[in-house]
Amino acid sequence: MKARNFRYVRPASLQQAYRILEEGGGDAVPLAGGQSLLAGLNMRLSAPKLLVDIGELRELGGQSHAGGVVRLGALTRHRELLESELTRTRLPLLARAAEHIGHAAIRNRGTLGGSLAYADPAAELPACCVALGATLVLGSNAGERRVRAEDFFKGLFETDLKPGELILAVEFPERAAEETIGFGELARRHGDFALVGLAAVATLVRDRIERARLVYFGCVERAALARAVSAAVAGSSLPLTDQAALAAAIRTDLSPNDTPGLRADTKLHLATVLTRRVVNAFAARAAA
């Protein structure tokens, strides 16, 4: 299939982009890497009249590290998450997650801001941003505001973005020395969207987990902190021994639906296996 007709404009500045988006109302949408939007247009899942290409806006690019905050511009490509020295050393969770996003061609074009705005519940980066306690910087003609990633994802493909608003950047608090990260996903083939995935951050004292933030993807409606599981693993020594408590916590946080080829019970089982795997690997990662 092919997309319906649309107009295309490439604003020269952020202010111009704001103005065009505001004037366009619901008919105008931002275009970043195009890896989700253009596929949706070609499948006629949406038919905006005007694409506003923000892909060259200098104001949405760049990466910095200052005052205990790592800031990544919304146009940071998935490939940069994998390759940049800053993300590999300061945000290794994003670098690990990016390895699993689609294929090289998608990682070359797809952007951090696009992934967060699209809010696919099977996507890796929204879950990582929630686990890392990130803050999104949003902008429009009305000015800038900051929203915690935890509050940004409202539902299935639904976010806190208001019409005409753009994600400008994402800010991550600097990782404490005793913090470690965990990541895993189960997909039918490498590069496919995850059936069940988990992004995690934990504070360890020797082999004991003091605090943890676990966020699932692929088997949820939106990226949200898995409160029961995070609380269940906090205070545990590794390796985890109380499998029943873990499985019960997972059932509290997750209520997946049956989908073609995968029953909800199977997803819960996979989530339990994956959680054990990711959490038990904390100790080795912390030692490394």
Ligand X SMILES: Cc1cc2nc3c(=O)[nH]c(=O)nc-3n(C[C@H](O)[C@H](O)[C@H](O)COP(=O)(O)OP(=O)(O)OC[C@H]3O[C@@H](n4cnc5c(N)ncnc54)[C@H](O)[C@@H]3O)c2cc1C
Residues lying near ligand X in the complex (CB under 6 A): 29-37, 39, 54, 74, 101-102, 106, 109-111, 113-115, 117-118, 120, 123-125, 161, 166-167, 193
In the bound state with ligand X, the residue whose beta carbon lies nearer, of 103 and 277, is 103
Q: Which is nearer to ligand X, 11 or 114 (CB)?
A: 114
Rounded Cα distance between 10 and 17, Å, is 8
Using the minimum distance from each CB to ligand X, give the nearer residue, 188 or 208: 188
Query: Is-contact 33 55, C-beta < 8 A?
Result: yes
Nearest residue (CB) to ligand X, 11 versus 110: 110
For ligand X, the closer of residues 246 and 271 by Cβ is 271
- HSE toward the beta carbon, residue 37, CA cutoff 13 A: 25
- For 265, how many CA atoms within 13 A lie in the half-sphere containing its CB? 0
Please tell me whether residue 222 adopts helix, strand or coil conformation: coil
Q: How many CB atoms lie within 10 A of CB 144?
A: 11
Least Å from the CB of residue 34 to ligand X:
4
Pick 113 or 256: Cβ nearer ligand X: 113
Spell out where the chain has E strands. Answer: 7-9, 28-31, 50-53, 63-66, 69-73, 135-140, 143-148, 153-155, 158-159, 166-173, 179-186, 196-205, 208-217
- In the complex with ligand X, the residue whose CB is nearer, 24 or 113, is 113
Tokens of residue 272, six digits? 């339990």
Note whether 180 and 282 are within 8 A (CB). yes
Residue whose token pair is 């997650």: 97
Cβ–Cβ under 8 Å, residues 249 and 279: no
Residue 50 CB, shortest distance to ligand X, in Å, is 11
Q: Give the nearest distance from C-beta 46 to ligand X in angstroms.
A: 8
The least CB distance from residue 246 to ligand X, in Å, is 26
Question: What SS3 state is found at 132?
Answer: coil
* Shortest Å, Cβ 273 to ligand X: 20
As a whole number of angstroms, the distance between CA 243 and CA 121 comes to 26
Q: Cis check for the bond before 163: say yes or no (omega within 30 of 0).
A: no
